[in-house]
């Protein structure tokens, strides 16, 4: 009953096998090896973007912060959701990598920016005068921190507004595959065809060991990205082992099938909560994360039975009246089983 995070899950067998297979003889370092060529080929092909620049790093925070750093000057303002990973979970990485740019926090239910909330944020953020930060970029997180999904037409509506205001557009796709299979669209439809300039394409949470790709659809700033990556210590010497993961992940639809599995388990769990007396869903379940509330006594039972998940926020006290609803986040991954889900639901209601 491990639902604490998809990053607590292990590595997909195919990815482990690819790492072993890559461990043969010598290879040129820093991305000049054949496996790294293969990753570039795979991403360009699957995104229908033959000119895209593709770079690998090992963490999502690095992918995001480096991406932003090529999209905003130090005096820029980056629009993102108030609950985005950029704002809440990176210890200020965007400020560090951009040289002090500022995040403008956009509102929106279920961690989604809407055209209305983006319009409000744009209107309230002066720019153009030397006294203000200059508006520079929009970052959308897909899937969001609340497990919801932007569909391509939603992305396009927001990037259209952003582009009209002169902003570059980034997508934080730490769980990009989960969004993709949820929306049922192609990688190109979700990204450059919908106005995205740079994508952080996650691998780690969805079954890799530690690899994320940054896909820069307009390669004009690619060299700057390379220098920033190196300077930040994110250029791997034994680069083939990043590439081996990503190549396996993108081969034979592994990334999609792993995400489908995770999303299906979340749907099963969500349906269970919907049917559970006294419980309620807090955000729509659209991908692999479930946000549900149920009585405190059910939490006590679940935790006593060894369930692992997060109270969300974690400031909710476990001590208190039995029937108060406490909200939790439960994340499924490629290795979540139906038995895990069913046991979780049974324990709570048992």
CB of 135 to a second copy, least distance (A): 12
- The answer to whether residue 160 forms part of the interface with a second copy (CB under 8 A) is no
Q: Which stretch binds a second copy (CB under 8 A): 41-49, 176-184, 221-229, 298-306?
A: 221-229
* Farthest CA pair distance, the chain: 62
Please, which residue, 67 or 191, has the CB nearer to a second copy? 67
Pick one of 164, 184, 220, 233: the residue that binds a second copy (CB under 8 A).
Answer: 233
Structure tokens at 221: 């700033």
Smallest distance from the beta carbon of 1 to a second copy, in angstroms?
10
Residue 65 tokens read as 């912060």
Q: How many residues bind a second copy (CB under 8 A)?
A: 77
**What is the closest distance, in whole angstroms, from the C-beta atom of residue 336 to a second copy in the complex?**
10
Q: Which of 67, 84, 98, 141 touches a second copy (CB under 8 A)?
A: 98
Does 161 bind a second copy (CB under 8 A)? Our answer is no
Q: 209: closest CA among 66, 43, 59, 31? A: 59
Residue 103 is inside which H or E element, if any?
strand 102-106
284 lies in the site for a second copy, by CB under 8 A: no
Using alpha carbons only, how large is the chain's radius of gyration in Å? 21
Tell me the CA distances in angstroms from 293 to 240, 273, 297, 306, one per residue in order: 44, 9, 12, 18
Residue 243 or residue 270: which is nearer to a second copy going by CB? 243
In sequence order, the 6+-apart residues with CB closer than 8 A to the CB of 231 are none
**Distance between CA atoms of residues 263 and 19, nearest Å:** 26
* Choices 41-49, 144-152, 203-211, 263-271 (CB under 8 A): range interacting with a second copy: 203-211
**Which positions from 112 through 141 interact with a second copy, judged by CB under 8 A?**
126, 130-134
Tell me the C-alpha distance between 299 and 326, whole Å.
Answer: 8
For a second copy, the closer CB: 235 or 292? 235
Rounded-to-integer distance, Cα 179 and Cα 187, Å? 10
**Could you write out the DSSP letters of every residue in 145-200?**
TTS----HHHHHHHHHHHHHTT-EEEEEETTHHHHHHHHT--HHHHTGGGT-SEEE
- Closest to a second copy by CB, 157 vs 246, is 246
Which stretch of DSSP H or E encloses residue 328?
strand 325-331
Beta strands (DSSP E) in 277-324 are 280-281, 289-295, 310-311
| Contacts of a second copy in 15-74 (CB under 8 A) | 16, 19-20, 23-30, 57-66, 73-74
Question: Which position among 11, 137, 171, 179 is part of the footprint of a second copy (CB under 8 A)?
Answer: 11
> Residues 78-97 vs a second copy: string with x where CB under 8 A?
----------xxxxxxxxx-
Q: Could you tell me if 86 and 68 are in contact, meaning their C-beta atoms sit under 8 angstroms apart?
A: yes
Smallest gap from Cβ 163 to a second copy, in A, equals 21
DSSP reduced 3-state for 116: helix
Nearer to a second copy, 236 or 249 (CB): 236
Instruction: Please select the residue that binds a second copy; options are 182, 191, 204, 285, rule is CB under 8 A.
Output: 204
Q: What residues from 285 to 304 belong to the interface with a second copy (CB under 8 A)?
A: none
Please, which residues bridge with residue 135 across strands? 77
User: In terms of CB distance, is 112 or 221 closer to a second copy?
Assistant: 221
Of 224, 323, 324, 338, which lies in the binding site for a second copy, with binding defined by CB under 8 A? 224
Task: Find the shortest distance in angstroms from Cβ 239 to a second copy.
Answer: 9
């Amino acid at each position: 009953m491990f639902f604490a995070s998809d990053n607590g899950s292990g590595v997909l067998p195919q990815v482990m096998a690819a790492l072993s297979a890559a461990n043969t003889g010598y290879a040129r370092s820093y991305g000049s090896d054949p496996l790294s060529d293969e990753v570039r080929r795979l991403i360009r092909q699957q995104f229908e973007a033959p000119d895209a620049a593709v770079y690998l790093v090992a963490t999502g925070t690095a992918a995001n912060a480096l991406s932003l750093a090529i999209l905003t000057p130090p005096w820029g303002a980056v629009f993102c959701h108030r609950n985005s990973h950029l704002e809440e979970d990176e210890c200020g990485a965007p400020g560090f990598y951009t040289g002090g740019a500022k995040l403008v926090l956009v509102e929106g239910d279920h961690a989604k920016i809407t055209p209305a909330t983006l319009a409000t944020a744009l209107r309230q953020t002066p720019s153009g005068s030397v006294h203000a930060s200059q508006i520079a970029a929009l970052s959308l997180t897909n899937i969001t921190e609340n497990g919801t999904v932007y569909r391509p037409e939603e992305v396009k509506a927001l990037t259209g507004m952003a582009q009209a205001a002169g902003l570059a557009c980034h997508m934080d796709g730490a769980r990009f595959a989960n969004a993709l299979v949820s929306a049922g669209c192609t990688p190109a439809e979700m990204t450059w065809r919908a106005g995205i300039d740079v994508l952080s394409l996650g691998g780690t949470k969805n079954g890799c060991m530690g690899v994320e790709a940054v896909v820069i659809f307009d390669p004009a700033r690619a060299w700057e990205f390379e220098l920033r990556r190196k300077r930040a210590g994110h250029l791997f010497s034994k680069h083939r082992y990043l590439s081996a993961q990503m190549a396996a992940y993108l081969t034979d639809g592994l990334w999609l099938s792993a995400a489908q599995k995770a999303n299906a388990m979340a749907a099963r769990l969500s349906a269970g909560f919907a049917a559970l007396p006294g419980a309620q869903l807090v955000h729509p379940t659209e991908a692999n994360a479930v946000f549900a509330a149920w009585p405190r006594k059910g939490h006590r039972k679940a935790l006593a039975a060894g369930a692992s998940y997060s109270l969300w926020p974690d400031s909710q006290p476990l001590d208190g009246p039995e029937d108060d609803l406490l909200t939790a986040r439960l994340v499924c991954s490629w290795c979540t089983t139906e038995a895990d889900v069913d046991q979780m639901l049974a324990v709570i209601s048992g």
